[in-house]
Amino acid sequence: DRTYTISLQQLQQDVESSLTEAFGKDKVEVESSTSVSPSVGADLFNKGLLAMIYAIIGILIYIGLRFDFRYSPGAVVALIHDTMITLGIFALFGIKFTLPIISALLTIIGYSLNDTIVVYDRIRENLTKFRGMDLAKLVNQSVNETLSRTLLTSVTTLFVVLALLFLGGGLISDFALALTIGVIVGTYSSIFVASPMVIYIDGYLADRKDRAQKAAPAAA
């Protein structure tokens, strides 16, 4: 009836005993072995995804309160961009999506947000320093002023992550791969996604304000 039952625990024991017989007990060691039921695994996976969604919502509120709500969409779009690019690469290469990868995605969200806040802080400082300057030029100047800091932080972080990727081995390799992708994409999104979104949102709010002012006399 094409129905099969596989005992993974028994399979592990068989492999371990075969290796021990072939190479000797002193040369064979199982470093770690963990297993959960499918229902527990699905529950942990769903909770991990919910944690990621709650983190993004909390960041939206935090950015809105700390800066201005015109900054919030840019930060959230950048975080979603980083997450989706990382997931897309994993799906493209058929890498199994596990809980360590969800942990890596949450780490990527925090790392990318840190870069974005540094750029936003400089934009806010320059807004008070250079009043009347065109917003696009001001954002460009702010990005250039923080560019060296952003690149140095990303490169030094990549050194550590690449060491984990090539030397860590085991389950940590997928975690390190996700972080490697996230650091690269997070650096890119802070400069080319989050910052331009500030200009777009500012222009959108200005256009809506102009339309409201033009519509007011007509309504009166």
When mean pLDDT is compared across 24-33, 110-119, 121-130, 199-208, the lowest value belongs to 24-33
Predicted TM-score (pTM) of the model is 0.73
Residue 87 burial (CB < 10 Å; 0-12/13-18/19+)? middle
**171 sits in which H/E element:** none
pLDDT at 128: 87
Contact partners, residue 30, CB within 8 Å, separation at least 6: 12, 16
Contact partners, residue 106, CB within 8 Å, separation at least 6: 51, 52, 55
pLDDT at 162: 92
In tens, the pLDDT along 63-95 reads 778 777 778 888 888 888 998 999 899 889 888
Six token digits for residue 34: 């963990």
In tens, the pLDDT along 123-159 reads 989 988 888 889 899 999 999 999 999 999 999 999 9
